[in-house]
Amino acid sequence: MTEPPQPDALPPLGAAPAPVSGGQTAAAVVFLVLVAGVLALYRTAERPLFTAHEARAARCARHMLRSESWPAEAPSPWLVPQFSPDAPPGVNYQKPPLYYWAVAAASAAGGEVTRLTVRLPSAVSFILLVVIVYFLGRAVVSHRTGLAAALVFASTPKVLWWSRAAVLDPMLTACIAGSLLFFIRAHLAGAAARPLSRRPKVDENGEGDSPDERPATYHRRLDGASDGADGVGALADEPPVAPGASAAGAETRRARVSHAPSGTWQIYLFWALAGLGTLVKATALVVPLLAVGLYLLARLPAEGWRRPLARLRPVTGPLVLLLVAAPWHVAAHVATDGAFSRIYWGVHVFGRATGTSVFEETTSWWYYLPAMARDLFPWIVFLPGALVQVWRRSSRAYRGRLLFPFVWLVGSLVFFSAVSFRKDEYLLVAYPAAAVLIGYFLDYYVEAQHVDARLRKWVVTAFVIVAVTTVAVAGGLLALGLWPAAREALLEVLHNRTDRAVVSAVADLMAGRAWMAVLLAAPMMVGAVAAVVLVLRRQAAGAVALTVCTTLLAFVLFVETIVPVLGRVRGLADFADAVQAEAVRRGPETRIFLAVGECHELSFILDERAEGLRAHPEPIDFLRKELAAGRSWLVVTDLRTHLEPVDLWGGEEGCGRGWFEVADVQVWQEGRWQDLPGEWRVVAETPDGHRRPMVCAAPVTEAP
């Protein structure tokens, strides 16, 4: 009587995955595209522009659409994306053009850049990423692992947030993940097609002389099958033979892989997509080559170096990359007399990496560890187990393949932790690899849950952690709304102006609305508790599916309730509309002077009426001359704390939030705040609690 397999001797999940038909693949892709499309586009156009880069992308694309009015002496906005024709090179020459080209193309049909079209490239990149993750999981392990990985990636809230914003990183990640998908497919095809040079040495336990050369005998013995057609001589990268498979089937498989395509065209696509990624960010040069280099190094004992290196096309491959990337970079260098290269490569790439160019407050080397815990929630609780699972005996037959997402994730984490400048979204390029590892781990557990007791305990603990975390989030939201002391305590430890504004706005939203805090946290909280019950009942597939659904439901509720609040404290659309309306009321000749630092949102919304400090670095002298000449101006400046509201019409209730009597509206000039000439009054202001309080002032003599 055959004994049941031990936990560490389980056959790997999908040891002999059933062939996936074209119909199944098409159905999976259509399903993933529909899910990802709904998540990326749902109410995306309703949110105002949040960040400076969203507005920068919108304005650069607008200049492309209006290139006929662009100054002839400046480089074409189609060639070099530029924020403004009168801005200095340090402001204009910051990023390559691919994302801005995509925004302009999406906006061309309507003739104008909108909130939807400026975010559409990110949304499309997210949809492509979900499909790419599916094919990555399928190439490394199986169809089911690919589906699990794609759903994990699609249901990660922070990834969803980035996919709904006009930032470059989703497009960059799509280029990098696509290039690495073609590499691993080409590498595995080349390994399967190579001739058998030797038969692996096998001991009496059925173990080969390398981690990936375990013969099919091992898997067959687990089910008590006969040892005929033992499959000895299986290729290092060939998927293991199924328990009970026939000798004829094994020979058929060997004949098929011996005639497998070499994958040359896929290797060239690897190089081409890496080159295309450099038109988004320079990171596309680093991550693919780092991941491939580490993977080939890890596979050196099993595969050697000659054949893998030859399959990489080390001469013609880089030429393909240069053919894609170099023409634009050379053209931009020539068109700007080298200014773009000096600023982009010297300041934004190497300066940020080495710390010689300081843009924001520096962070610690361990910055990405808590960032990953937040950004990959709830799936982060499974990542440690997924990393360990690669090295367990039960995953041995797939280890050679799983090493690829493993080194991709770990190598990216180490690299971005080592550079000087760190931001949350930079690590997005590693999250497809994390999704593949987590997808394999969960898919393996669905098969192993009945026999792998140790793993079951760990998975139950992971779901308990998710449940406890969601309960803590619900308690925190309740505390913010019900206890002012909790709100003040949290604000004291927050130093970032945006974080303080967001916390205050969420606390105001929750005040007196305990039901809303429960509503926001309930889906994931109830889902995690139910998932624990399902795992204990050995229904792991249901637990994973429930977690995906409840996480997506929680994100939809977040979009419905919290995002509008964030729009009020982070967006400037309402304030800009009020300024625009005041300018229109005063007449078509009225101009708007933006006496503020970098504020791309206002520059984009106010468009042609606005001028800023870049054009007139000494605003007081400029405005004095303009007003003396009788020209009409409004001035937008950051709110000074000494400005106090005054009722102009008498009475204690007065006009509410209308006009303010101030004699010393100030602007920043020559390193200090200085009074504007004459007497001014405030005609518009940002809402209370906004992350950047600003006012729009007009000369008193022009007020009605």
- What percentage of the chain has pLDDT greater than the value 90? 41
Residue 109 CB neighbours (<10 A): 8
Give the integer Cα–Cα distance in Å for 158 and 376. Answer: 7
Q: Both 611 and 498 in a single domain?
A: no
Final residue belonging to a domain, choices 420, 448, 476: 448
pLDDT at 595: 79
Q: Both 465 and 583 in a single domain?
A: no
Closest CA to 667 of 600, 603, 619: 619
Q: Both 520 and 607 in a single domain?
A: no
Q: Both 536 and 431 in a single domain?
A: no
pLDDT at 86: 76
Final residue belonging to a domain, choices 448, 479, 500: 448
Query: What region, left, alpha or beta, does residue 231 occupy, with left being phi > 0 and alpha being psi -120 to 50 degrees?
Result: left
Q: Which of 149-163, 205-219, 354-368 shows the lowest mean pLDDT across its residues? A: 205-219
Per-residue pLDDT band for 189 (boundaries 50, 70, 90) equals confident
User: Domain range for residue 556?
Assistant: 453-570
Q: Both 497 and 537 in a single domain?
A: yes
Tell me if 231 is assigned to some domain: no
Q: What is the pLDDT of residues 203-235, one digit of tens each?
A: 444 444 443 433 333 233 333 332 332 222 233
Residue 470 CB neighbours (<10 A): 25
Tally the domains of the chain: 3
Tell me if 230 is assigned to some domain: no
Q: Which of 240-254, 320-334, 497-511 shows the lowest mean pLDDT across its residues? A: 240-254
Tell me if 95 is assigned to some domain: yes
Tell me if 211 is assigned to some domain: no
Q: Helix, strand or coil for residue 592?
A: strand
pLDDT at 588: 85
Q: What is the pLDDT of residues 253-308, one digit of tens each?
A: 444 444 444 578 999 999 999 999 999 999 999 999 999 999 999 999 888 888 88
Q: What is the pLDDT of residues 557-580, one digit of tens each?
A: 989 888 888 888 878 888 888 898
Mean pLDDT of the chain: 80
Position 665 pLDDT exceeds 50: yes
pLDDT at 618: 73
Position 538 pLDDT exceeds 80: yes
pLDDT at 613: 63
- What percentage of the chain has pLDDT greater than the value 70? 79
Position 123 pLDDT exceeds 80: yes
Give phi and psi for 590, each to the nearest 5: -70, 130
* Radius of gyration from C-alpha coordinates of the chain: 29
Tell me if 356 is assigned to some domain: yes
Closest CA to 154 of 379, 372, 411, 371: 379
100/704: higher pLDDT: 100
Tell me if 608 is assigned to some domain: yes
Per-residue pLDDT band for 612 (boundaries 50, 70, 90) equals confident
Tell me if 3 is assigned to some domain: no
Q: Both 350 and 474 in a single domain?
A: no
Tokens 């493993």 sit on residue: 406
pLDDT at 450: 87
Position 320 pLDDT exceeds 90: yes
Residue 638 burial by CB count (10 A; 0-12/13-18/19+): exposed, middle or buried? middle
Q: Which of 130-134, 363-367, 378-382, 503-507 shows the lowest mean pLDDT across its residues? A: 503-507
Q: Both 527 and 581 in a single domain?
A: no
Q: Both 460 and 398 in a single domain?
A: no
pLDDT at 5: 43
Cβ atoms of residues 530 and 546 within 8 Å: yes
Give the integer Cα–Cα distance in Å for 150 and 655. Answer: 55
Q: Both 523 and 606 in a single domain?
A: no
Peptide bond into 704 cis (omega under 30): no
Q: Both 349 and 295 in a single domain?
A: yes
What is the arithmetic mean of pLDDT over 169-192?
Answer: 92
Range among 14-18, 619-623, 631-635 rated most confident? 631-635
Q: Which of 18-22, 76-80, 384-388 shows the lowest mean pLDDT across its residues? A: 18-22
Final residue belonging to a domain, choices 570, 598, 617: 570
pTM of the model: 0.84
What is the arithmetic mean of pLDDT over 318-328?
Answer: 96
Per-residue pLDDT band for 512 (boundaries 50, 70, 90) equals confident
Tokens of 530: 């139910």
pLDDT at 204: 43
Q: Both 482 and 428 in a single domain?
A: no
Per-residue pLDDT band for 1 (boundaries 50, 70, 90) equals very low
What is the arithmetic mean of pLDDT over 55-77?
Answer: 91
Tell me if 214 is assigned to some domain: no
Q: Both 463 and 602 in a single domain?
A: no
Tokens of 130: 């979900």
What is the arithmetic mean of pLDDT over 422-448?
Answer: 94
